[in-house]
Amino acid sequence: MSQGNNDVSVEPTQACVAGDAPFTPGQAKACTVREVLDRVGGKWSIGILVAASQGPVRFTELERHVEGISRRMLTLTLRNLERDGLLSRTVYPTVPPKVEYTATPIALELYDSLVALTSWAERHRNAIAEARTAYDRAHGGTA
């Protein structure tokens, strides 16, 4: 890979993380990754996002779909996602209220990006688990 240089000690030119990554033209934009993670990294964001990416979903459907989630968290995450323009909320002013959440094109793109992470997780799932066990045995187990 293209990481043979160990001159990390050079000033990063930015208060953020490394910006001279192969994917950043000339400026440090890696901070945005954190923003993404902050946004999407919530405990339930992805579950909701994934569910909404399949098509319009109703509140209760989400509640059942994600299952472990509480009402509060569902509402909160929904609001955040909506606020960020990742979900669109459609209210049908019927007698029994009906609200549908749909993933916006932006969210669908993110969902797509998530695939990369997922496949990575899939590939190295066992390796990570083993690394953990090995580490725990080597450190915590000996004490």
Partner DNA sequence: CAGTATCCCAGCAGATACTG
Partner DNA sequence: CAGTATCTGCTGGGATACTG
Contact positions vs DNA (CB under 7 A): 42-44, 58-61, 68-73, 75, 77-79, 89, 96-100
Q: Does 141 bind a copy of itself (CB under 8 A)?
A: no
Q: Does 77 bind a copy of itself (CB under 8 A)?
A: no
∠32-37-39 over CA atoms, to 5°? 95
* Residue carrying structure tokens 């890979």: 1
Indicate the residue among 1 and 15 with the shorter CB distance to DNA: 15
Enumerate the H helices of 54-104 as residue ranges: 59-66, 71-83
Closest approach of DNA to the CB of residue 40, in Å: 11
Q: Does 63 bind a copy of itself (CB under 8 A)?
A: no
Neighbours of 139 (CB within 10 A): 9
* Residue carrying structure tokens 């990390």: 8
- Helix, coil or strand: residue 100: strand
C-alpha pair distances (Å), 143 with each of 52, 77, 138: 47, 41, 9
The item of DNA, a copy of itself, none sharing an interface with residue 99, based on CB under 5 to 8 Å by kind, is DNA
Closest approach of DNA to the CB of residue 53, in Å: 17
Residues 9-48 that bind a copy of itself (CB under 8 A): 9, 12, 15-18, 20-24, 29-30, 32-37, 39-41, 43, 46-47
